[in-house]
Chain A
Amino acid sequence: MESIGVLMTCPMSAYLEQELDKRFKLFRFWQFPQRAQFLKENCGSIRAVVGNATVGADAELIDALPKLEIVSSFSVGLDKVDLAKCKEKGVRVTNTPDVLTDDVADLAIGLCLAVLRRICECDRYVRSGKWKKGDYKLTSKFSGKTVGIIGLGRIGTAIAKRAEAFNCPVCYYSRREKPNCQYKYYPSVTELASNCNILVVACPLTEETRHIINREVIDALGPKGVLINIGRGPHVDEPELVSALLEGRLGGAGLDVFEKEPEVPEELFGLENVVLLPHVGSGTVETRQEMADLVIGNLEAYFLSKPLLTPVV
């Protein structure tokens, strides 16, 4: 398989680079500033693209690679891959489900605890020497708060399971009510937001879910409510979220994702009721290795004409 050209779109894992190098002819797209020229020269040998949640495979890239046969994404979400285009051209698409579910759910709960209990802010308070001048103010209890989950798929279900260990009642919104599910279902996001203390975005990003968190939902969540986003930045109307936080119309937010990563709205930097993370939902050594192994496994299966491990298209 050494002659098969694989294009990696951006740096995502040193381990994955090393393992791809061993098996394929790996092109590191970010090392070629003259992209058009690079594509022109190498499009004849590139048969696979490895992308992630930052840079995937858009229509332009797919069109520029006439020999492209498979996109193996180092992510579970495929919002950066033009799936319709792939279908049309017969390009296969795989992602990395399951292996990152626990990490993302863990981080969602970590964000709940960090925002409600002001963990990052307490740490800053101690380090800056303020404790000597008096106690930190009271913070909110997490156990027992109602957790509303948007999208009760693999990740949403894992979040629900963890929230239950904190005695949190769980409710959810999804396109359809899940049969045999003990959690309370709300047929609209606004109703869910009105009936929970903490709203967690855990659905895939699609045209329907873009800006699913809008002003109406934020206002329904209210000045004591907390928004947690471990999905994708564009799930949230970010300017609306920022103004709600600045005006005190929303109680707090824990955000792992943003609309224009790695840019984060600077207005949030001064707020103590937000926790801002650099898209690290799946960011553990253990999980990134499993994701990398799955990306390679899918590519190897494809080029050996075996069934794909985690096909989407």
Chain B
Amino acid sequence: MASTQESPNGTVIPLPHVLLLRYPAHFSHINYPLPDHLFHLLKPWESPLPLDQFVLAHARSAQAVVTTGGISFHADLMSMMPDLRLIVTTSAGLDHIDLAECRRRGIAIACAGDVYSEVVADLAVGLLLDLWRKVSAANRYVRAGRWARDGDFPLGSKLGGKRVGIVGLGSIGTEVAKRLEAFGCIISYNSRKEKPSVSFPFYTDVLDLASNSDALVICCGLTPETHHMINREVMTALGKDGVIVNIGRGAIVDEKEMVQLLVSGELGGAGLDVFENEPHFPQDLIGLDNVVLSPHCAAFTPESFFNMCQLVVGNLEAFFSNKPLLSPVALEEV
């Protein structure tokens, strides 16, 4: 592993130390080379030490950390790296990073930006289409040989004219809205703030949005404010013909209540890419035909991984050459 580089005027300067919190699956999945020639990469997975001990022994000098969703990057771990100035995360959400500590220490964060927006929006629309047109259930029906035996499959529901409420009109939510408009769906949304440049009707309250929608598509981030925001009352307002698509985070929905409402028929259906306690999911959903379950893979395509790898390297390069980050998180707004 190179640990120095030669500057244009011939002086030898050390490569910046970058800790990869875990093996970056994005790179390995698509055989994208790790940027060993640009940075001194610290790789805890190659060591037998637990992560915190590895950091104390080998990574105290790290100026930047690359992290992913699903692994908590908390203040204790950050405190072991006094020179830490940048966190690059490959996940769309930021719920695994102690943002208050970053704010306090002035640590910058680069996020996935728009890299996943299209593929996540695609899956959201795919799940909604699957629910209303019963695609997965019909595919099971055919494969079980029931078409010839039991006759026609039950009818689905038409997309055109349906009212879809987008919860969180950020980059993903905007892509979802754009796609669903082409199907003749009527879009409205809820967000922390009304977006002045958007013509869709805005609801301050997610309960009002649910009362006026046939479907809710959850596209917001998980924060203390959005934790269990989709509670029993909201789901009851959506009603027995209403459906939920969640491609945000599992804990935005009160999962226990949702399962009860689905089982009792008080909620019409759910398309879920995320769950509260992944990779576990409520076993009561297994027998239901009105749910479509997906293993948190909305962002998992070779195309989006390639763009993500480029973005990680680009953010690190920008940071260490004192240029603006490509996908900075505005910490004061989070």
Contacts and interface: CB of A to CB of B under 8 A. Distances in A.
B240 interface: no
Contact of B153 (A111, A166, A266, A278): A278
B141 A107 contact: no
A284 B300 contact: no
Given A102-B184, A284-B133, A277 B142 contact: yes
B182 A138 contact: no
B114 to A, nearest CB: 12
A195 interface: no
18 contacts: A107-B133, A114-B135, A119-B135, A122-B295, A126-B293, A127-B286, A131-B279, A138-B297, A139-B301, A143-B118, A165-B181, A166-B118, A275-B139, A278-B141, A278-B147, A278-B152, A278-B153, A283-B133
B302 interface: yes
A132 B296 CA distance: 12
A243 interface: no
Contact of A119 (B121, B127, B145, B181): B127
B135 A11 contact: no
Contacts of B136: 114, 119-120, 123
Interface residues of B, number: 59
B129 A278 contact: no
B158 A287 contact: yes
B147 A106 contact: no
Interface string B137-152: 0111111010110011
B280 interface: yes
Contacts, number: 175
A261 B151 CA distance: 11
B126, B145, B155, B305: most-surrounded residue (chain A CB, <10 A): B126
Contacts of B141: 278
B178 interface: yes
Nearest to B119: A141
Contacts of B156: 280, 283-285
B294 interface: yes
Interface of A: 11, 102-103, 106-107, 109-111, 113-114, 117, 119-120, 122-123, 125-127, 131-132, 135-144, 161-162, 164-167, 261-264, 266, 269, 275-278, 280, 283-288
B300 A138 contact: yes
Contact of B129 (A113, A122, A138, A140): A113
B118 A126 contact: no
A113 B141 CA distance: 19
Given A119-B130, A136-B300, A141 B122 contact: yes
Contacts of B294: 119, 122-123, 126
Interface in B155-176: 155-160
Contacts of A261: 147
Residue of B119, B135, B153, B300 with highest tally of chain A CB at under 10 A:
B135
B74 interface: no
Nearest to B181: A165
B32 interface: no
Contacts of A280: 133-134, 138, 153, 155-156
B191 interface: no
B29 A164 contact: no
Contact of B182 (A113, A164, A285): A164
Given A110-B130, A143-B119, A166-B122, A288 B155 contact: yes
